[in-house]
Amino acid sequence: MRSSLLHILAAATLAGSAIGLGCAGSGDGADTADGSGTPDTADGSDASDIAGGDCVTPDGPGLVASYFLAGGLDGTIATVPCTLDDGTATTCYEITTVGAPADHQVGPFCPRTITATAADGGIWLANGEVYDIDGDFIKGLAEFYDDPVWQLYDATTGVVRVTLTQAACEAAARPDVDPDYNNYCVECSLDYVGGGIAETTLIPVNPVARTTPAELGAGIVGLAFNGVHFEAPAPVDAILAAHTIAAFDDCGGHVNTVVGYHYHAATGCSKEVAQCDGHAPLIGYARDGYGIYAMSASGGTEPTDLDACRGHSDAARGYHYHSASAGENMFIGCFMGRVVGTTTGPGPGDPGAGVASCDTVPAGMPCCGDGTCGGPETAANCAEDCP
C-alpha cells in the first residue's frame, strides 16, 4: 500500500487547480471520472451539481470519484479487484495521489524569530485547541507547558531553533529524537521528497461494515479531495517529550520524509462538498469507504449521537463519520468498515512515531502498551500481552 516512489511534481499540479479554499462547489469534478462508465450516484447528479457551484444531494454511502481534484491525483481513479481485511474479495477504487495538495500551498510551519507574527508560522494543537505558532508562542512554551526545559530560541538573538536541513529534520523525527535536536521547532520541506510522495490507496467501492471497530493503526486514515492523506493522530506526547514542536501549517498538515505532506487536523482548507440538505459538508473519505464530513454544518453544532469512531447514520448518507475539531489532533476515532491492508501498527514517519502511546485510543478500545492500541489484539500486534 505504502509506495515509496518519489513523485516529481509537475508545476501544473498546483497551477491546474487554483481554486478557492474550503469552498464547496469549487471543484473541477468532471476531470476525475472514475472510469467505470457509470454515474457515481443514482441520479448522476453529483458532478454537474458540483460544477454548477451549488450543493449535492447525497445518495447513500460510498465514494464519489468525481469529487477528487485532478491536481492531487496521478492519473484517474480506476476500479480494481481487491481483498478486504477479512478476506472478502470485492472491488476497490484505486487512487494514486501525488503527495501535494491540489488547492493550497504547503507551510509555513516554524517561525524564524520570536518577533514573528501568526502569518509567519503555522499552528500547534494542544488541550483540544488550535494555537498560532508565532513568536510569542515560542517564547511562552516553558510557561505553556509548565516546564522550564523549553527553550526553542536563542535568548540572545531571538532566532528560533528550526530544523533547516533534511538531515536535521530526519534526525529530529526519529522515534528516539536525536538529543542534538531536543528543543527544536521541527519542519521538513516537501523539496526533500521531490515535491511529494506518490501513494496508491485502495478504497472499497461498497463499504462493508465491521462487527467491532478497528483501530486506525498503520496506513492512512483517509483522503481529502485535494489528494492529501488524513493520518492518525500525531504522536504529540513523544514529540513534546523531546521538547520539540512538529509544527503544522495553517491547514493542519506537515511533512515528514516517510509519507510526505499529510493532515492531522481538519481546518477547512481543503475542498468541501456542500450538502443540499444542510448537513455538514463532505471533506473526504475514510480508507474504509465511508465519507468523512466536517464536524458540523456552518453555524451548527456537532452531532450528539456519534459512536467511538465518530460515526453515525442518516437516511441520506447511510453510515458516515464527522471529523473531530482541529484541536483534537484527529479526524475519526476508529474504522467501522473493512479496509484493504492492515489496521495495526503505528503510523510511520513523525517524530516519536512508534513510541508506545495509548493516550489517544478512544474510550472502550483495548490498549496493550506496546504502541499498538485498539482493535483486536493478536500475537502479532501485541507481543507483550500475547505470549
Interface positions with Zn ion (CB under 5 A): 234, 350
| DSSP strand pairing (311-314 vs 199-204) | unpaired
Nearest to 221 by CA among 236, 238, 203, 208: 203
362: left (phi over 0), alpha (psi -120 to 50) or beta: beta
- Judged by beta carbon, residue 139 or residue 310, the one nearer Zn ion is 310
- Judged by beta carbon, residue 250 or residue 350, the one nearer Zn ion is 350
Work out how close the CB of 280 gets to Zn ion at its nearest, in angstroms, rounded to a whole number.
Answer: 6
- Judged by beta carbon, residue 134 or residue 350, the one nearer Zn ion is 350
- Judged by beta carbon, residue 102 or residue 234, the one nearer Zn ion is 234
Q: Determine the Cα–Cα distance for residues 263 and 266; give it in Å rounded to an integer.
A: 7
Q: Give CA separation, 136 vs 37, 132, 151, in Å.
A: 55, 9, 12
Give the contacts of 371 (CB within 8 A, at least 6 positions apart).
346, 354, 355, 356, 357
- Judged by beta carbon, residue 9 or residue 258, the one nearer Zn ion is 258
Q: Determine the Cα–Cα distance for residues 371 and 302; give it in Å rounded to an integer.
A: 30
Cell matching residue 227 = 489528494
Work out how close the CB of 171 gets to Zn ion at its nearest, in angstroms, rounded to a whole number.
Answer: 16
Do residues 14 and 103 lie in contact, with contact meaning Cβ atoms separated by under 8 Å? no
Give, for 102, the enclosing helix (H) or strand (E). none
Work out how close the CB of 184 gets to Zn ion at its nearest, in angstroms, rounded to a whole number.
Answer: 16
Cell matching residue 196 = 511529494
- Judged by beta carbon, residue 234 or residue 340, the one nearer Zn ion is 234
Work out how close the CB of 34 gets to Zn ion at its nearest, in angstroms, rounded to a whole number.
Answer: 24
| Torsion from C-alpha of 176, 181, 185, 188, nearest 10 degrees | -70
Burial 167-177 (b: 16+ CB within 10 A, else e): ebbbbbbebeb
Q: By Cβ distance, which residue is nearest to Zn ion?
A: 350
Let me know the angle formed at the C-alpha of 126 by 296 and 165, rounded to the nearest 5 degrees: 110
Work out how close the CB of 254 gets to Zn ion at its nearest, in angstroms, rounded to a whole number.
Answer: 5
Question: What separation, in Å, do the N-terminal and C-terminal C-alpha atoms of the chain show?
Answer: 29
- Judged by beta carbon, residue 95 or residue 292, the one nearer Zn ion is 292
Work out how close the CB of 101 gets to Zn ion at its nearest, in angstroms, rounded to a whole number.
Answer: 15
- Judged by beta carbon, residue 63 or residue 82, the one nearer Zn ion is 63
Work out how close the CB of 94 gets to Zn ion at its nearest, in angstroms, rounded to a whole number.
Answer: 24
- Judged by beta carbon, residue 50 or residue 234, the one nearer Zn ion is 234
Work out how close the CB of 250 gets to Zn ion at its nearest, in angstroms, rounded to a whole number.
Answer: 15
Q: Determine the Cα–Cα distance for residues 354 and 333; give it in Å rounded to an integer.
A: 18
Work out how close the CB of 337 gets to Zn ion at its nearest, in angstroms, rounded to a whole number.
Answer: 15
Q: Determine the Cα–Cα distance for residues 155 and 21; give it in Å rounded to an integer.
A: 38
